[in-house]
Amino acid sequence: MSQPTAGKAGATGKKRAGAGFRALVPGLAFFAAGVALSALWFLRAPSHTSADPANSGPPPLSDATKAVLQRLGAPVEIRFYSLLDPASVGDSGREFSGRVDQLLSQYEQEGAGKIKVARVNLNSSAAANAAVADGIKPFNMDKGDACYLGIAVVRGGQKATLASLAPEWEAALESDLSRAIAGVDATGPHAQPARKPDVATLEAVKHTIPNLDTVTVEEGSRQLKTAALAKYKKTAQETQTRVEQAQERLLQAQNSGSASDQQAALKDLQQAKKEQTDKLKEIALASKAQQEALQQLKGPAH
């Protein structure tokens, strides 16, 4: 009687171990799935692979942004226009505006006095006129009062405008804003000469934007981001298959109880996740290079 009982206990232990590991598998899968859903998130913070859900604050600024702020030759003003009609902009729109505001606060803090943010968020004719003068695009005019959500970066006679902020491109906001700051600081004493785009980058830009001579910088930038996002999602789906296969092997090793098999399977899973992250990061870096090439080809946006 004791032997069957022991066998049953061993089987139960294996089942519990397997069940415990199965509880971890969705979390591992969520890592890769979250990467795909976040799209170009690592443009926002390339040194991080995932956000901490327990952390309600925004992710820290990237090292690239910190370098831009540290090299500023003179103070830069950021005008943040958040003129939203409550009748046509829902909670998600206002929450997005709040996250942009938090991001700008980080720039102020990291800028050590060289970044001044002017927040324009009280609806009035004067505020709307100022937004238009700075190149901010109105929206929701068919639903009520015109709304404005954008950023103008100003230094002396130089200005760069992020004319229309949208939640779907929130992942690229830090990269876009830092590039705008670097652009208006281009004449400063710490400015560095723009790096000439390589042939492959130029060809990629021309392939994505066949009407390069006539397209605006804003529209060209949108086309490049759309193409990068499509490639990003496709690559994420393809590499996810490799990650899922590695997860299944690790699950099987966990159920078998072999420590060596588990270690080998875990190493394989870590390698699969690294390969996925590396490929996605490569796409992001190529997209960033193409955006910079477009700016050089078309000139700074005003």
Encode pLDDT of 205-247 as tens digits.
Answer: 899 999 988 888 888 888 888 888 888 888 888 888 888 888 8
| pLDDT the model gives residue 58 | 67
| pLDDT the model gives residue 281 | 75
Q: Cα–chain-centroid distance for residue 9?
A: 49
Do the domain assignments include residue 5? no
The mean pLDDT value for 159-182 works out to 88
| pLDDT the model gives residue 49 | 36
Do the domain assignments include residue 145? yes
Higher per-residue pLDDT: 134 or 189: 134
Domain count, the chain: 2
Do the domain assignments include residue 2? no
Whether residues 182 and 204 share a domain: the answer is: no
What is the amino acid identity at position 292?
E
Domain boundary among 191, 223, 238: 191
Do the domain assignments include residue 6? no
Helix, strand, or coil (residue 45)? coil
**Range list of β-strands (E), the chain:** 76-83, 115-120, 138-139, 147-155, 158-162
Helix, strand, or coil (residue 123)? coil
For residue 157, give the DSSP letter: T
At residue 194 the predicted structure's pLDDT band, cuts being 50, 70 and 90, is: low
Whether residues 48 and 144 share a domain: the answer is: no
What is the amino acid identity at position 68?
V
| pLDDT the model gives residue 186 | 64
Residue 43 falls in which region: left (phi positive, over 0), alpha (psi -120 to 50) or beta: alpha
At residue 43 the predicted structure's pLDDT band, cuts being 50, 70 and 90, is: very low
Q: At residue 53, does pLDDT exceed 80? A: no
For residue 61, give the DSSP letter: P
Whether residues 296 and 234 share a domain: the answer is: yes
Whether residues 222 and 158 share a domain: the answer is: no
Whether residues 174 and 285 share a domain: the answer is: no
The CA radius of gyration of the chain, in Å to the nearest whole number, is 24
Q: Quick check: pTM over 0.85?
A: no
Contact 253, 265 (CB under 8 A): yes
Whether residues 138 and 199 share a domain: the answer is: no
Whether residues 85 and 166 share a domain: the answer is: yes
Whether residues 187 and 107 share a domain: the answer is: yes
For residue 87, give the DSSP letter: T
Domain boundary among 142, 159, 191: 191
Do the domain assignments include residue 1? no
Do the domain assignments include residue 8? no
The mean pLDDT value for 23-51 works out to 40
User: Residue 185 sits in which domain range?
Assistant: 72-191
Instruction: Provide CB contacts within 8 A for 39, sequence distance 6+.
Output: 171, 229, 232, 233
Whether residues 182 and 211 share a domain: the answer is: no
Whether residues 119 and 45 share a domain: the answer is: no
Domain boundary among 191, 214, 231: 191
Whether residues 252 and 219 share a domain: the answer is: yes
Q: Quick one: 227 exposed, middle or buried, by C-beta within 10 A (0-12, 13-18, 19+)? A: middle
Higher per-residue pLDDT: 26 or 105: 105
Whether residues 257 and 277 share a domain: the answer is: yes
Do the domain assignments include residue 156? yes
The CATH number for 104's domain is: 3.40.30.10
pLDDT digits over 69-87, tens only?
998 888 999 999 999 999 9
The count of residues in the chain is: 302
Do the domain assignments include residue 210? yes
